[in-house]
Amino acid sequence: KVKAMHVVDEPTVLPKVKNIIAVASGKGGVGKSTVSSNLAVALAKSGAKVGLIDADIFGPSVPLMFGAESARPNLINVDGKDLIEPHEAYGVKMLSIGFFVDPAQATVWRGPMASNALKQMIEEGNWGELDYVLIDLPPGTSDIHLTLVQTVPVTGAIVVSTPQEVALADAIKGISMFEGPGVNVPVLGMVENMAWFTPAELPENKYYIFGKDGCKKLAEEKGIDLLGQIPIVQSIREGGDNGKPAAVNEDSVVGMAFADLAAKLN
């Protein structure tokens, strides 16, 4: 008698979410949170219902990037269960550990505490029906990544990197983790961030500060898609610091770049 090896249950976690997308990077500072935030906004602008979970427990930056540092989500009762009502900004519903604890405190948490915080945001958030939930992961490979894939049916992962060698070396580790045994999350593609810089006074020139086409070449090598190349643009940095993601301005070069990225997922 042949026994079924796997029992595939109906998802009980985020059952009304069509796509759960992990946004990862090998190294910190490559723009993973910036890409997550702007992509979330661009998806919302395209008409999708979007959620964003800031799982970068040790360095939550979603509150700052959405001007939501003072947001303190309430509990609401849904069908007899207390759920956390996500904060909403620029059409994106979001939860971040930064809403609940002083980020300086979270930094000293042990792995299990951070994993529990992530689980709580996923399982006890009042997410409702959504087309996408983006999960902004901490850099590297950690307990949090394992918790995530064990807790929710992740549709796929996006790996963000700069074209620089050291960043790419770590991005490869990230790709291997997602594709590896026990995790098995398809890599939807890479986003090359900080791909070049074009000064306003020399609009025809592209300066490849961190190297040229590093992600493009790596994606080709690994047989995965390059979803987009985002240049270094001052308004991206300013938008992040000022709490209004640059992609809000959909007619700008940046807005269009993120709209293209969003279209790749639609």
Q: What is the helix, strand, coil percentage profile of the chain, to 5?
A: 35, 25, 40
Residue-wise over 76-101: b if at least 16 C-beta within 10 A, else e? Answer: eeeeeeebbebbebbebbbbbbbbbe
Please answer whether residues 86 and 73 qualify as being in contact, where contact means their C-beta atoms are separated by less than 8 angstroms.
yes
- What is the per-residue binding string for ligand ADP in 4-23, x denoting contact by CB under 6 A? --------------------
Question: Looking at beta carbons only, is 34 or 142 nearer to ligand ADP?
Answer: 34
Q: Is 29 in the site for ligand ADP (CB under 6 A)?
A: yes
Question: Looking at beta carbons only, is 60 or 86 nearer to ligand ADP?
Answer: 60
Of residues 235 through 264, those in contact with ligand ADP by CB under 6 A are 236-237, 240
Alpha-carbon distance of 254 to 86, in angstroms, equals 26
Please answer whether residues 5 and 15 qualify as being in contact, where contact means their C-beta atoms are separated by less than 8 angstroms.
no
Please tell me what DSSP assigns to residue 125: B
Alpha-carbon distance of 26 to 194, in angstroms, equals 15
Q: Which of 20, 22, 42, 230 binds ligand ADP (CB under 6 A)?
A: 230
Q: How many residues does the chain have?
A: 266
Q: Is 38 in the site for ligand ADP (CB under 6 A)?
A: no
32 is in an annotated binding site: yes
Q: Tell me the closest approach of the beta carbon of residue 167 to ligand ADP, in angstroms.
A: 9
Q: How many residues bind ligand ADP (CB under 6 A)?
A: 17
Q: Is 30 in the site for ligand ADP (CB under 6 A)?
A: yes
- What is the per-residue binding string for ligand ADP in 186-205, x denoting contact by CB under 6 A? -------xx-----------
Instruction: Mark the segment that binds ligand ADP (CB under 6 A) among 24-32, 46-54, 201-209, 210-218.
Output: 24-32
Where does residue 62 fall: left (phi above 0), alpha (psi -120 to 50 degrees), or beta otherwise? alpha
Binding-site residue ranges for ATP: 26-33
What residue ranges bind ligand ADP (CB under 6 A)?
Answer: 25, 28-34, 61, 193-194, 230, 232-233, 236-237, 240
